[in-house]
A and B are shown apart, each in its own frame.
Chain A
């Protein structure tokens, strides 16, 4: 079989290598981008098309225990959106939380070839890895929830820094994770152990909180920096979704000092106003801070109108939201490690708060000065499905379209924002940055997000269309690791040999002696059965190197 491809005449966007829409040739051999290929290579004539690296989703929820609970919870949603079998692909169910096969295929049909699952409790990591193997085409990695880990918290509280570092490293290794995820740190104990309370402040040290969130955040930022992970701690800040929470967000970013930190779905953490009352936009305050601090990266968590599903380790927030309509709700406590809440949701343009959230997300995109540090996401499916990405791109690239869209939603919300005054329009090159080059850089994935020699041959070729939603909705060609998957909008093969991306920092084996007694006392599975063996990578794991960095600009 011919493993060489030559893409010619395409308008190439490769911001990492400073190619901003230039007609040039791309050569592929054995899954990688190379300097040249033989004359027998398959030729793709990309005349009139844009050639970009495959998309990289830095924050979504697509595999693992909570995702599967949400899938089970919403048959009514699957029913409306069947995903049909084709000669080359399996069938599945669509909707806001698609089945694994449908998830992989649908990401590919948007031109995405990598997606990172944003939150998995360590005890359930096998489940996430198993689902990843059943999610075709896209490479995956996942962030492991450690922010509410009781054992790690006790090490922090007792000031046992060395052991803490070794233990975090151990956890990353045995769970095959990509980086540390912190979700509402410190909130599990009030929720599970104190009749459904929540932590209120980053410096909360009331009786129900064992340890102040800031102490936890600081300890993790430090240790991840020390370990040199390719991606910093990925944080879901305290007070997410609450009016007046931008303070907490800024305090969280300040806690990082000049060390790296990635703030997830920052839109949900950019509200001013008085707690308990209607929110206002704090996009300006938030973007001001980000613009001035190179160590901070974030993804937006854009809210889109229509169906969504909350699935988050922030259990108290989900329960609070459930209170509005008393819909079906799932809570899932994981011993010693995490909480979880799931709730089907609907964002409606006519509702003040929802319209405001939509506007704040767009404001953050438009006010931020450095596209490399702001990533397009909907926090799928929390802010809406990843299927909305093309529409978001159109909103960012087209001021008139945005103005028109604003007319159809809550006017009180629109009048309270500056969205209408922001005339900026993203360029194709900037879109290429916020959807692939940037997130790859934020993740420290050197082989992805660009088309330079040696990069993974994950490539998307779009027809150049005036309607950018249409353009990004249906790439004409998608190539994954050098294999042509979509040709003329149709799947021509099914790619299953995919990679699990992970880190494997060194650690001292003796740390197990410190951890084991805790396990024996408080976990319900044996310590010996906790570590995940390599079989779960199905031979397709890739370890990303560790190296200390102060910002994404350091090599």
Chain B
């Protein structure tokens, strides 16, 4: 179960709350290691919410937990992750003379590692 995706890191409210509580605390770590993937990709990659995956590119690699999104939330072929140490592992330091590393839209490989420990959670219903 391997595939290629394009990663879009960004802010989320949970990540914001987490970093107030403390970046060295579990809540922040949990939020920043959650990778959101489209419904279609979850299916084609054979993944389920809660699965552990390895994401990597030429810069580095990191292990995260995958979460499926319902249709239309994110385009097929793309994945979202809140900013944090795991997303940093994949940023290139090259800024093309702008000071800004290309922090959205990097190509990554995704690879299944193991099933989530928790009870399997299902995807949210399509029309909720």
Instruction: Classify A-B as touching or not with yes or no (CB < 8 A).
Output: no
Please report A residues at the B interface, Cβ cutoff 8 Å.
none
